[in-house]
Amino acid sequence: MKTTSTPAAARRFYPLEQADFQKLEQAASLKGLLRPFPFKGKGALTEWASQCHALRDDLIELAKRRVLAQADAYPFRLLPVELAQQTTGAGTVFLRWRRPDRSVMGVALWQALITSPATPDMLIDDLYAMEVQRIVLNMQISVLHTLGRQAHECASKVALAESTYLQRVHERAGPPSTTHPEESPR
């Protein structure tokens, strides 16, 4: 049977749209990334890192609420492969294809599913849209996680540099004078 694009009325999976991301965009902005040093005020790097991680967490919640909810619904729940969340050791959540018994995981499962004659033609377009959505969300989550981690590391390095600098400045200034100004030698 020939596969053609599924009309919108026959769709079963609805990818995220710009409106889904607008609240996230307004909540945190990356426009502060490329500003000259210093970031304004102590803790600005740490605050920016926290904003990246909060945005990442909001994106993960959006993926769970909108994408995984659809993937767990009929008719997708009847398939031998499911889209599920996987939490990494760092606590970040990514979307992964896996068997319901969790014995195998990976994109090869999706590839086998979409090329299998047993997979109904009416689901092919939706499965493709779901995979594209998964790939993009995972990239966005990964980028935000990395930016936040790098900002925290940068803040630690800046703090160490400042500590080393201040130590040197205090050593250069020498010990405080024990004589009073009016007792200075003439």
Residue 88 included in any domain: yes
For 70-124, what is the HEC assignment? Answer: HHCCCCHHHCCCEEEEEECCCCCEEEEEECCCCCCECHHHHHHHHHCCCCCHHHH
pLDDT in tens, 92-132: 999 999 999 999 999 999 999 999 999 999 999 999 999 99
Residue 58 included in any domain: yes
**Residue 105: which domain range?**
44-166
CA atoms within 13 A on the CB side of 176: 2
Number of structural domains found in the chain: 1
Residue 52 included in any domain: yes
pLDDT band at residue 17 under the 50/70/90 scheme: confident
Residue 108 included in any domain: yes
pLDDT band at residue 59 under the 50/70/90 scheme: very high
Residue 51 included in any domain: yes
Beta partners for 104? none
Residue 182 included in any domain: no
Residue 173 included in any domain: no
Q: What angle do CA 88, 92, 98 make, to 5 degrees?
A: 55
Q: Indicate whether 57 pLDDT > 60.
A: yes
Residue 5 included in any domain: no
pLDDT in tens, 124-171: 999 999 999 999 999 999 999 999 999 999 889 988 998 999 999 998
